[in-house]
Amino acid sequence: MPKILNYSIVGLEDYTIGFNDYCSLCEIQQFCKWGKDEPFSINISCGDLNRAKEKVKFEQLQKLQKTEDVSVSYEELVKKVKINLQGIISEIWKGKIKALKEEIRCLNSRKIDPMLVSQQGQDWWQDFNVTMKVINTECEKIS
């Protein structure tokens, strides 16, 4: 079972997720930019999560308006919208973590054995996903 990453509230709606434990466990960490002196962490804002959800909702509504009958009300269209939280978390993962693979050698398959990177990345992703769902639940309480 994945453990939840360290996360802390930095502001009213801002969270920091720290990957400190991962960086110390990685055998190839000595080559990474991140380590004990400069722990790897990212910032997540409830506002960013809400904007991402609204963007998905807006895009789906636009598609539905083109395909549904004109007589269908806006409220009925909104009920048909399904927000894929997993997709939003995946986009955050790609933009804030995977994009830093040059600095995080543990996730760079061009420099390290792809099998090792794949397993390491899967472990990080699972824990990140669980942590983001917890943060999303907290953000929903605020909104």
Phi, psi of 6 (to 5 degrees): -70, 125
Do the beta carbons of residue 42 and residue 20 sit within 8 Å? Answer: no
Q: Where are the domains of the chain?
A: 6-142
Q: Is the dihedral of CA 112, 7, 99, 81 positive or negative?
A: positive
What is the C-alpha to C-alpha distance for residues 35 and 18, in angstroms, rounded to an integer?
Answer: 11
Give the tens place of pLDDT for each residue, 2-59.
455 777 888 788 999 887 766 555 555 555 566 556 667 889 999 989 999 999 889 9
Share of the chain above pLDDT 90, in %: 20
Q: What is the pLDDT of residue 34?
A: 61
75-84, pLDDT tens digit by residue?
Answer: 888 888 888 9
